[in-house]
Chains A and B, each alone.
Chain A
Amino acid sequence: MSVPIYVPVDSAALALGADEVASAIAGEAQKRGIAIRLVRNGSRGMFWLEPLVEVETQQGRIAYGPVGPGDVKGLFDAGFESGGSHDLSLGPTEEIPYLKKQERLTFARVGIIDPLSLEDYLACAGYQGLRRAVSLSPAGIVQEITESGLRGRGGAAFPTGIKWNTVLQAEADRKYVVCNADEGDSGTFADRMLMEGDPYSLIEGMTIAALAVGATQGYIYVRSEYPHAVATLNRAISIAKDAGYLGSDILGSGKSFELEVRKAAGAYVCGEETAMLESIEGKRGIVRAKPPLPALYGLFGKPTAINNVISLATVPVIMARGAEFYRHYGMGRSRGTLPFQLAGNIKRGGLVEKAFGVTLREMLYDFGGGTASGLPVRAVQVGGPLGSYLPDSQWDVAMDYEEYSAIFAVLGHGGIVVHDETADLARLARYAMDFCAIESCGKCTPCRIGSVRGVEVMDRIIAGERNQIGLLRELCDTMLYGSMCAMGGMTPYPVLSALNHFPEDFGVAGERHA
């Protein structure tokens, strides 16, 4: 009997040397004549422990980490292949508090299975959702998703069921499902981890979406910065197709659905849904005016259901276990769980899937363990580059779409970027404007020109011209209310929150705004 040994193939693990560790383990096992089966799984999302090596024992999976190639000989000396004790021992993986305290629904399989093994996927409740979906009418699927309370996890939090219903009701000879995997927000990697660690859940979710809205073609628009995710998805699609889960007669339903990966090309604004459609159509990623909604007039002018990776990958568990099961998690109108991503200057960075309602303070300290630098946390940006900077006084607000909205903040795609006390919020505000200037598609004036003027105004403020603060606020006001999409419309979130909560960095101490 060969011992299964798991070494992640997730990009972040690779970036920390997982490939070198895997080949060291294979080489050492061969040298010692120990029969092992090396499995390249996704990441458990505890990145301070990566490369995290796991061994399958009679007591379950035992973890060791962070493992370097130089540790491998010692691990074998300690008999780690049968769970032997070593300095890097972390005990049973599932008992590690960081993981144990989570509520993993969307990420239930990530880090556990071999991402490309359809057998593993099926053994862990895979394709149960689709099996149930094929027995329902399209309206029945839409109703289940609506009742689950699932809202768009890309950041806009629009109810998924309502969007699907619009596409379902639209009359057309052809409809599309498009997955937005252009995860450009700094501090986010949930989409990447899921696509690399459990690609079939996304494929299954898209197939269910296609059955629900009557689409026959799907596209996954993936960032070019994610080459590993692109490769994994392409292989998974081809395996799923060979097994009859994609193609002309899905599970004998007589319905057909084809799926294709489209690689993006490094434009942040293409994460905006209409710019993404333009890009898939082969054009510059310029934002379209809405209405018409993409649900009615989307890709190639046809009704299109556009959802984020996490929204779609959550659909299978909702279909398999029912709307009631999913709704049970969360608070208020934010139902279910959100995969939060702890990033930046944080001691224990990683993926934390929790029901809505957890607080940022719990995330920062109970999970994150404070900063990596050891200095006090000063500011935390939640929701990507277009999200607000939150000061200590706001860390006890429940992480819920509406509660955050009430404090001029957003949960967005769940990214949490931590800055320690050395952070200069005026420089970060300048960066927010600069990023908008670099990435603006140029269609509307508030974003295209406003961001450039914003950088200039910030430069003057940083040089000590305090009288420019009023101008900055006016400019932000124009961008907030006059931009066509979130790119220009939300750049004021980081800028104004930095100014309001950290005025001393702008040379205006004592003028703190609410």
Chain B
Amino acid sequence: MKVSADRIADLAARHGEKPGALLPLLHAIQDEMGHIPPSAAGIIAKALNLSSAEVRGVISFYHHFRTEPSSSPRVEICCAESCQSMGSEALLAHARKTCEVHPVYCLGLCAVSPAMMVDGKPHARVTPEKFDSVMKKAAS
């Protein structure tokens, strides 16, 4: 735990000078550690001269930030209208049988719906069969 606390303090020092540093800092922490550890809020608050409540408030407001490690691989399936019109509800139901799925609202791949991201890699026109083959590849 000590290592990550030091690292968070390092990142806070590096990003702290920017105006509106909190979001870039939270991104930097999550990109590096996979999530924002619960202990981070206090360290960030001190570094950026904010209250711990303000930092926690920001972390909890944004869907992108998570305070626990994500499932691996991270599967995000778009559940917005465009993907719904091409069967994303059935895809979601299929995917949930085998893994943890995070619904997202639009990946900007609406002309090739339904879409999903697996560990940041986009996939389009995802049928249940294609989903299975993508997941098989991701596991190997």
Contact = CB atoms under 8 A, between A and B. Distances in A.
Interface stretch (B2-10, B67-75, B81-89, B93-101): B81-89
B108 A189 contact: yes
A227 B120 contact: yes
A47 B112 contact: yes
A284 B57 contact: yes
A280 interface: yes
A184 B106 contact: yes
A419 B108 CA distance: 17
B33 interface: no
A238 to B, nearest CB: 17
Interface stretch (A76-84, A337-345, A479-487): A337-345
A423 B62 contact: no
Contact of B61 (A186, A285, A341): A285
Contacts of A346: 111
A300 interface: yes
B61 A343 contact: no
A266 B112 contact: no
Contacts of A300: 19-20
Interface string A411-427: 00001011110010000
B13 interface: no
B106 A265 contact: no
A491 B121 CA distance: 31
B115 interface: yes
A11 B81 contact: no
Contact of B112 (A12, A184, A268): A12
A365 B19 CA distance: 49
Contacts of A281: 19-20
Nearest to B48: A282
B15 to A, nearest CB: 10
B109 A282 contact: no
A263 interface: yes
Contacts of A428: 81, 84
Nearest to A280: B20
A225 interface: yes
Please tell me the size bucket of the interface on B. 35 or more
A224 B65 CA distance: 10
A225 B108 contact: yes
B80 to A, nearest CB: 3
B64 A187 contact: no
A417 B110 contact: yes
Contact of B83 (A48, A186, A189): A186
Contacts of B92: none
A356 B54 CA distance: 45
B106 A225 contact: yes
A147 interface: no
A237 B57 CA distance: 32
A344 B62 contact: no
B124 interface: yes
A496 B51 CA distance: 43
Interface in A128-183: 183
B91 interface: no
A267 B61 contact: yes
Please tell me the size bucket of the interface on A. 35 or more
A345 B88 CA distance: 12
A418 B57 CA distance: 38
Nearest to A342: B111
B85 A344 contact: yes
Contacts of B23: 262-265, 279-280, 282
Interface string A196-231: 000000000000000000000000000111110000
Nearest to A278: B20
Given A265-B23, A285-B61, A344 B82 contact: yes
Contacts of A188: 106, 108, 110
A263 B110 contact: no
Interface string A424-455: 00001001000100110000000000000000
Most chain A beta-carbon neighbours within 10 Å: one of B24, B81, B84, B113: B81
Interface string B107-129: 11111110101001111110000
A429 to B, nearest CB: 11
A39 interface: no
Most chain B beta-carbon neighbours within 10 Å: one of A11, A47, A225, A438: A225
B57 to A, nearest CB: 6
Contacts of B112: 12, 15-16, 47, 50, 349
B63 A266 contact: yes
A263 B24 contact: yes
A8 to B, nearest CB: 12
Most chain A beta-carbon neighbours within 10 Å: one of B26, B83, B108: B108
B138 interface: no
6 contacts: A185-B106, A188-B106, A279-B23, A344-B86, A344-B110, A423-B85
Q: Which 10 A-B pairs have CB atoms at the shortest separation, nearest pair first?
A: A349-B111, A186-B80, A282-B22, A343-B110, A266-B64, A265-B62, A15-B124, A266-B63, A15-B122, A265-B64
Given A185-B106, A225-B108, 15 more contacts: A12-B122, A14-B121, A16-B112, A183-B108, A189-B111, A225-B106, A262-B23, A282-B23, A284-B57, A344-B81, A344-B85, A344-B110, A345-B86, A346-B111, A435-B105
